[in-house]
Structure 1
Amino acid sequence: MWIASKGEVDSFQLLITLLGGTLAAASAQVMNCIYDRDIDYEMLRTRARPIPAGRVQPLHALIFAVILGVLSFSLFVVFVNLLSGLLAMSGIVFYMLVYTHLLKRNTPQNIVIGGAAGSIPPLVGWAAVTGDLSWAPWVLFAIIFLWTPPHFWALALMIKEDYAQVNVPMMPVIEGEESTVKQIWVYTLLFIPCTFLLVYPLGVSGVIYGIIAVILGAMFLQKAWQLKQAPLDQDLARSLFKFSILYLMLLCTGMVVDSLPMSHQLIAALGDNLTTLVSLIPLS
């Protein structure tokens, strides 16, 4: 939203979009907990969730999820625009129908394709500001889409036995650790270059974001490479998983800071000063 508005996002629009997006994500997650209540009960990590623990009945949870979804769509349509509301709802549908129902229990590529659901929020944010979708939000979509496998497979390496126990075919369970970390490395090599497309050729982000993207990208590559050299090292998998969260947060922060008018003024002033200094250098 900050990029689309060139650093001058409307605060009320921002608040409504964040609230609507949160409600949509919550609706999808509640539905997921209903659908996966059988395996959630079997896994120690998820057994304490409200439905498998018996604190909430599935029917009550479904009513709650529908209310959340209706509230989300209503907020978008009334206060923002129809496109952003439809995109938010498409995230719920894709997450539940494609990822949770069709992919999660049937293929080790579940998180790759299913990652599209988690990549929709940038489309929602961009549409909320502009009312349409240009190339920039699709690049943001691609960044998160390609970031998701390294992020989630690092987690899957840590809890491989939990997934094996309930027959969820996550990559480490089916293909093993070595194959998984190779895939992590490949996807890392794919998504890091995508982060620079916002600078060139799209030109929607500038120098500040570019510097942040280079530093964070180098750190991510280093951690992914270390894990590739030691696929069985749980500490390295945990380190990559935790950093992947920090990485995306800082990368997005860089986008926001770079989009601010103050940042544009600072870079312009530095550029003018540099030009002046260069002009003072004698040519002979």
Structure 2
Amino acid sequence: MTYGYTPSPISTLSPGFTAHRKTLGQLVRVSLGGIEGETQRPLYGPGGWYWLVQTITGWWETAPIETSTVKHPLGSGVLALTPQFGPRPISISGRIIADRGGPGALEAALDELGSIKHGVLLIDELQRGLCREADVRLTDMQVTRETNIRASVTLSLQADDPRRYGSAVQKLKNGSNTLLNPGNSPCFPTISLVGPHSALTITHPGGNYTFPALSTGQRRRIQGATRNVWAGDTRVFVGSGPYPRVEEGGARWTINGLGNGTATAQRIEAWM
């Protein structure tokens, strides 16, 4: 399948695959830390400038494959171990155009873009109707000033978790829950809990995950992908058992103990 660009002749499944630049021919909206840009039309911000996105590298390709091998016990060839993927490198190139701002608008725009050291990268393929996101951090920013109102910019990003997640959010209930994953990778969703509920058990394909009771109004956020649980901005160490998992295609979860509390799951769709 193509997405408005010419695919690289190099297979994305080749060992050590390096993403090649793709010139975008479709309408794509990019959001990084709240700053938005598009590929075919200007989205002006309050500073009188816009981010014109021209190429994206590393988003549509398979994440780098780092599966280890061991020598075959019979002496010929090797045996591949459990498939492993490395962090996803992403590059976004384009221009900052500050044609509606005053003196210093271009420099202010570059400062604002470069100040985003980490955050959520969202890429919305508007014509395809597919919006996905990943947690990224900035590893490099290259700027070439072309005029006093225009500069070319290349952002080098890394998604330490190489999965790209869909935008679906599902409300969970006591009893059986069916979660659909149209992507090509299993994932560990983010679960948001609001009390009151008693001790909670989530039975899922990986086993049973238990979580202590919450009183009225208490909130917790369970980030399965990073194995972290948060109370606001504070990490807490609660919960036991394998984190709830959704397989490629989907999964059935059974929840007991939710009571009058609420629970939602997001990042239930994942692509590697």
TM-score by length of 1: 0.24
Q: Which has the higher strand share?
A: 2
Higher relative contact order, chain-length normalized (CA < 8 Å, sep 6+): 1
TM-score by length of 2: 0.25
